[in-house]
């Protein structure tokens, strides 16, 4: 129930060392402890059981992600690499005694915390002296560039290969070669990305483990552009984006497959980067918050993370057992009043979200494009793209999946691609305005028409419940408009018939009556007569304010029977 879609492939885990890795995973801990202690004695070091416990602690701190690969969470990295722990570990090895202060500072400042923990986990702490050598100055940013050339360790930096002599100050051991390969293999488990507001897009090495945990029993949703997985994002791997309170976050992992010439992923990623900035500036906005995006080097497409909408979309919401009666069909006036206030606030919130999208925005902090437009259009408003989030004790509707936001609509080619996308990918043009079929500039008022269509469905649901909405959706028109010659009326006859019928029983002195008239007079109009989202919001804000001040205006409970028994077009009596 997230937004759109693409094919997710398991992360390639290259450079595996099966024998060594299986030994580490399967060998009993006591056996491993004895094995390392014996090697330490043979090499003349003073390794104690405490040293081995540090290594065990790091290895036991790793989690297995959805794709079967291990990663050490970022909060564990912080927890295991304090100055106290670093000093404690370094002091256990006599060979490091004279350089403990310098090595501790190098590990913290360079930084080389990941490299240090990696060496701790494979019981090769003395090698930290090699990495700290000025001729290598090996830091955590070098870990992805550690390679093997002719079975020897090499650091590839600035297109130059620097041979690393790990054992130059150590007595060579029989398993040096194995542990060097193990270092190379295990490094990836320390490199799981952390998503932040400062870095919305990341290009990742194919072997980097992603910090996503499996959610058992969740089917993958597949669509035209790829897939959506429901996963848990480890709480320490997103900072400042979604409040987590130390708990993992359910997210929609949307992967986008595309041909290089289409660039669907790049288009959407750039739009969503700017949307994240807008949402951060207005935290209560009824817009979904894009969390992050990334691309694996081997892929043409990419992945985008969104909060998972546990309540599904607006169609799912209306179809839920506790919502099928709508508002006026509720048995209790108190319940009906509460639901009506919630409905009006959600309609107001969706309109406010469009106002924010439509107002000019600078792309500060976002990736630049020669197609950047300071304004946004959503371009694909429909119930499937309104998601339901549980926030505290209430549910909030948020707009998702900015359809035409991906396209440069000032160009003819951009408009052509936008229309092609809408017809072939989103699967419907039902909520599109009449001008969508013209070859002219697509205005932001396109969204006002679509919102008007949604408002009609909201009104029907509120007054007549799901039964009324199902009857409305059986109409044989594909869109809410129809083409007429020399006429300023563009609303389809079926829609006009429903609006006229509803006007007979929805009093103009009620919130639903006023919103119905707002839709017919200002929203479902020709482009040149249609109001802007700001103008609609101003009028809607007054309606909601009046509803909060006057219960009879908010909920026409006295005429409930008349409304329930009203026969809508094409039959159907609704008895409350």
DSSP secondary structure of 401-420:
--SGGGS-TTSHHHHHHHHH
Phi, psi of 286 (to 5 degrees): -85, 50
One digit per residue, the tens of pLDDT, for the chain of length 576 reads: 444 333 333 333 333 333 333 333 333 333 333 334 334 434 434 444 444 589 999 999 999 999 999 999 999 999 999 999 999 999 988 888 889 999 999 999 999 999 999 999 999 999 999 999 999 999 999 999 999 999 899 999 999 999 998 864 555 566 778 899 999 999 999 999 999 999 999 999 999 999 999 999 888 888 667 799 999 999 999 998 998 899 999 999 999 887 655 677 888 898 899 899 999 999 899 999 999 999 999 888 899 999 999 999 999 999 999 999 999 999 999 999 999 999 999 999 999 999 999 988 665 544 444 445 556 788 889 999 999 999 989 999 999 987 555 444 455 455 555 555 555 544 468 898 998 777 566 788 999 999 999 999 999 999 999 999 999 999 988 899 898 877 788 999 999 999 999 999 999 899 999 999 999 999 999 999 999 999 999 999 999 999 999 999 999 999 999 999 999 997 444 443
Cis peptide before 124 (omega within 30 of 0): no
Q: Where do the DSSP E strands lie in 297-443?
A: 302-307, 386-391, 394-399
Pair of tokens at residue 308: 């998972």
Assess contact for 387 and 312: CB atoms under 8 A: yes
Domain 312-368+382-400+444-565 falls in which CATH fold? Transferase(Phosphotransferase); domain 1 (1.10.510)
Residue with tokens 């006036």: 333
How far is Cα 298 from Cα 302, in angstroms, rounded to an integer?
10
**Residue 134 exposed, middle or buried by CB count within 10 Å (0-12, 13-18, 19+):** exposed
d(CA 538, CA 301): 41
Pairing between strand 238-239 and 195-196? Answer: parallel
304 contacts 268 by C-beta, under 8 angstroms = yes
Provide the residue ranges of all domains of the chain, joining segments of one domain with +: 18-190, 312-368+382-400+444-565
CA dist list (Å): 411 to 283, 360, 424, 425, 438: 33, 19, 20, 20, 13
CA angle, 222 then 228 then 230, to 5° = 130
């Amino acid at each position: 129930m997230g937004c759109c879609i693409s094919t997710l492939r398991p992360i390639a885990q290259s450079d595996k060392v099966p024998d060594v890795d299986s030994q580490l995973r399967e060998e009993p801990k006591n056996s491993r402890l004895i094995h390392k202690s014996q090697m330490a004695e043979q090499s003349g070091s003073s390794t104690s059981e405490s040293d081995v416990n540090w290594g065990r602690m790091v290895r036991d701190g790793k989690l297995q992600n959805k794709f079967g690969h291990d990663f050490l969470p970022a909060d564990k990295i912080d927890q295991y690499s304090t100055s106290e722990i670093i000093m404690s570990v370094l002091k256990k090895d006599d060979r490091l005694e004279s350089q403990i202060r310098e090595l501790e500072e190098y590990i913290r400042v360079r930084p080389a915390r990941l490299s240090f923990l990696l060496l701790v986990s494979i019981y090769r702490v003395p090698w930290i002296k090699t990495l700290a050598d000025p001729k290598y100055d090996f830091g955590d940013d070098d870990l992805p560039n550690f390679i093997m050339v002719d079975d020897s360790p090499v650091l590839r930096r600035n297109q130059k290969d620097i041979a690393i002599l790990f054992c130059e100050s150590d007595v060579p051991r029989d398993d040096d070669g194995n542990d060097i390969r193990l270092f190379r293999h295990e490094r990836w488990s320390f490199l799981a990305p952390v998503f932040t507001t400062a870095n919305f897009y990341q290009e990742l090495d194919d072997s980097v483990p992603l910090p996503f945990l499996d959610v058992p029993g969740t089917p993958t949703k597949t669509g035209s552009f790829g897939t959506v997985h429901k996963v848990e994002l480890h709480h320490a791997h997103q900072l400042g984006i979604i409040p987590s309170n130390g708990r993992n976050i359910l997210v929609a992992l949307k992967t986008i497959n595309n041909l290089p010439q289409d660039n669907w992923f790049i288009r959407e990623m750039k739009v969503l980067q700017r949307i994240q900035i807008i949402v951060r500036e207005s935290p209560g906005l009824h817009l979904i918050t894009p969390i992050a995006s990334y691309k694996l080097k081997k892929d043409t497409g990419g992945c985008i993370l969104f909060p998972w909408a546990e309540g599904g979309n607006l169609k799912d919401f209306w179809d839920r057992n506790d919502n099928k009666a709508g508002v006026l069909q509720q048995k209790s006036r108190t319940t009906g009043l509460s639901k009506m206030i919630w409905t009006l606030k959600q309609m107001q919130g969706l309109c406010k979200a469009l106002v924010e999208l439509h107002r000019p925005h600078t792309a500060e902090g976002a990736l630049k494009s020669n197609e950047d437009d300071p304004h946004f259009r959503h371009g694909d408003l429909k119930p499937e793209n309104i998601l339901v989030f549980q926030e505290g004790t209430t549910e909030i509707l948020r707009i998702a999946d900015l359809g035409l936001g991906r396209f440069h609509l000032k160009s003819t080619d951009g408009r052509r691609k936008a229309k092609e996308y809408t017809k072939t990918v989103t699967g419907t043009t039902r909520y599109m305005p009449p001008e969508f079929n013209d070859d002219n500039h697509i205005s932001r008022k396109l969204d006002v028409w679509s919102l008007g269509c949604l408002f009609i469905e909201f009104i029907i649901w509120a007054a007549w419940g799901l039964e009324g909405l199902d009857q409305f959706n059986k109409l044989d028109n594909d869109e809410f408009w129809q083409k007429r010659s020399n006429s300023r009326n563009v609303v389809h006859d079926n829609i006009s018939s429903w609006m006229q019928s509803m006007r007979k029983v929805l009093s103009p002195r009620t919130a639903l009556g006023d919103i119905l008239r707002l839709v017919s007079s200002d929203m479902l109009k020709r482009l040149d007569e249609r109001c802007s989202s700001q103008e609609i919001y101003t009028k809607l804000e007054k309606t909601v304010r009046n509803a909060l001040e006057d219960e009879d205006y908010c909920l026409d409970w006295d005429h409930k029977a008349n409304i329930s028994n009203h026969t809508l077009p094409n039959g159907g009596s609704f008895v409350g």
